[in-house]
Amino acid sequence: MPTPAKSSPSPVLVGLFAWLVPGGGYFLLGQRARALIVGITIIILFLSGIVIGGIRVMDPPGWGQYGYMAQLVVRTNRNNEEIAQRIDPTDGDQIQQIHDDNPNATVVSALFGQFMSELGDKPWFVGQILCGPMTLATAATSIHEARPKPGAPGIEGVPASHSRSWEIGALYTAVAGMLNLLIIIDSTYRAGIEKSQR
């Protein structure tokens, strides 16, 4: 009696799992050695970037220097045009002054109010986010570490490096993400081929 062919996972599932866990797509396809080699390589490259440049190389769009969500005050001018002004959420005097000048002003997150502008200011994050949830975890840690020390406003808990080491670290983490994108594409393609051959 012939043995029934095992069903291969869908390409969408493989692609999603490859993003969640570097090398995970190959693992679902049963290519354990390839999954291990690729996963370890991407994780080591990503972590090397953090070791070289510090945790603050993770600089997600929509967040300010001191780990607070950047905000926009949206108000209308005399010509009834909307104007969005980026503000420092820790500067209560600036926020109060804007509200006093225009009581109809609304405060929105800069990330949601001007997504493309925020992303354009920090394009390396596009590469970094391709590494999956480990990027989100390290970015959250970076934001937490950027908060000012208690009793010392304006002094970051862990300052961001402004040297070449920051650039190299950001480059390593972004390259790790782009390498993971290639792995996502390849494992998804292999899953599609397997699916069509069954």
Distance CA 5, CA 86 (A): 58
Distance CA 26, CA 13 (A): 11
pLDDT of residue 92: 61
pLDDT in tens, 157-169: 777 777 788 899 9
How sure is the predictor about 31, in pLDDT bands with cuts at 50, 70 and 90? very high
pLDDT in tens, 116-154: 888 888 899 999 999 999 999 999 999 888 888 777 766
The backbone region for 40, taken as left when phi is positive above 0, alpha when psi lies in -120 to 50, beta otherwise, is alpha
pTM of the model: 0.80
> Are 146 and 90 in contact, with CB atoms under 8 Å apart?
no
Any idea what the Cα angle at residue 107 is, between residues 101 and 108, rounded to 5°? Answer: 150
pLDDT of residue 179: 97
Per domain, the residue ranges of the chain are 11-60+123-197, 71-119
> Are 189 and 181 in contact, with CB atoms under 8 Å apart?
no
